Structure 1
Amino acid sequence: MAIRASREVLIEAPRDAVMEALADVGALPSYSSMHKRAEVMDRYPDGRPHHVRVKIRLLGLVDTEILEYRWGPDWLVWDAQPTSQQYAQHVEYRLSSDDHGECTRVRIDITVEPVVPIPEFLIRRACGGVLDAATTGLRELALRDAGT
């Protein structure tokens, strides 16, 4: 059974700063306690990450994921290869600027298909932690990159 979670957040930084923060894969462990290591395996010609290897620890389980990133002008999507803990993982970031381009609304949608059933209370706890890292941590990095 697939697990889905979403969140929307307003970041007080321009869209380019948020996209740069998303591209700074090496910073993941600095703002996401579940990410123990993150390394870019290869890049697109524009320098953005293409394949990324991350080591995560979530709910006491450790896993290494290979993520394929795809980029658009106002979105990022990644899909994970199957691992011992999950059949699939799909993550989407959608960005939109306010009228003045000073703030960016970010929507994140996550879908994970775990290998084994997970109790609902653990799903809620894990989703909260994942979404906090994906939004709060991203905000801090984007604000730092934007110099605000």
Structure 2
Amino acid sequence: MAVRASREAVFDASPQAILDTLADMDALPSWSKLHRDVTVLDRHPDGRPHHVQATMRLMGVTDRELLEYHWGEDWVVWDAKDTFQQRGQHAEYNLTPEGEMTRVRFDITVDPSAPVPRFLLKRAKSIVLDTAIDRLRSRVTRNRG
């Protein structure tokens, strides 16, 4: 059964600054407590990551994912192939300029390969959303400073 989660927040940054931070895969493990190791396998013609191998750790469970990224002027999406822990994953950031600020919406859908107790799902969602929004915002702010 697929699990969905989303969060929205306003960042004091441009969509470009946010996308640049998301595209910097080398720095991702430094601000994302979920990412242990990230390797860009190939890139789109504009230099942004296309296929990325990532080792993830969430609540004591480690998984190795092959992610396929697609980028737009105000969005990024990725999909994960099947792994030991999940049958699939789709995530996206949609960015909407609001004057000098940007509204950031993050949505993720994960199809776990085995049933997960509700209390663990609630905790996992919180960790993923905190990383996707709050830790990203901190990294974007630090990059601007």
> What's the TM-score once normalised by structure 1's chain length?
0.94
Query: What percent of counterpart residues are identical?
Result: 53
Aligned to 2:113: 115
Q: Which runs of structure 1 show a deviation greater than 3 angstroms over 4 or more consecutive aligned residues?
A: none
Whole-Å separation in 2 of the counterparts to 1:141 and 1:68: 23
2:124 aligned with 1:131, yes or no?
A: no
Q: For residue 85 of structure 1, what is the aligned residue in structure 2?
A: 85
Matches within 5 A, 1:24-103: 24-98=24-98, 100=99, 102-103=100-101
- Counterpart of 1:25 in 2: which secondary structure? coil
Kindly indicate whether the alpha-carbon contact (under 8 Å) linking 1:14 and 1:146 is maintained by their aligned counterparts in 2. Answer: no
Structure 1: runs of 5 or more not aligned: none
Equivalenced residues, count: 145
Letter in 2 for 1:111: T
Alpha-carbon displacement from aligned partner over 1:3-46 (angstroms, at most 9, x marks no partner): 00000011111111011011112222111112111111111111
Could you say what the CA RMSD is over the residues aligned between the two structures, in angstroms? 0.9
* Structure 2, unaligned runs of 5 or more: none
Q: Secondary structure at the match of 2:139?
A: helix
Are 1:7 and 1:131, in contact at CA under 8 Å, matched by a contact in 2? yes
Supply the distance in 2 between the matched residues of 1:84 and 1:146 (Cα, whole angstroms). 38
> What secondary structure is seen at the aligned counterpart in 1 of 2:26?
helix
Equivalents in 1 of 2:17, 2:34: separation in Å?
Answer: 23
Q: For residues 135 and 51 of structure 2, what CA distance do their matches in structure 1 show? A: 21
Q: Deviation string for 1:118-145 (max 9, x for gaps)?
A: 0000000001001111111211221122
Q: Aligned equivalents of 1:127 and 1:138: distance in 2? A: 16
State how far apart, in whole Å, the 2-side matches of 1:84 and 1:19 are.
29
Q: Distance in 1 between matches of 2:43 and 2:135?
A: 23
Deviation for aligned residue 1:103:
1.0
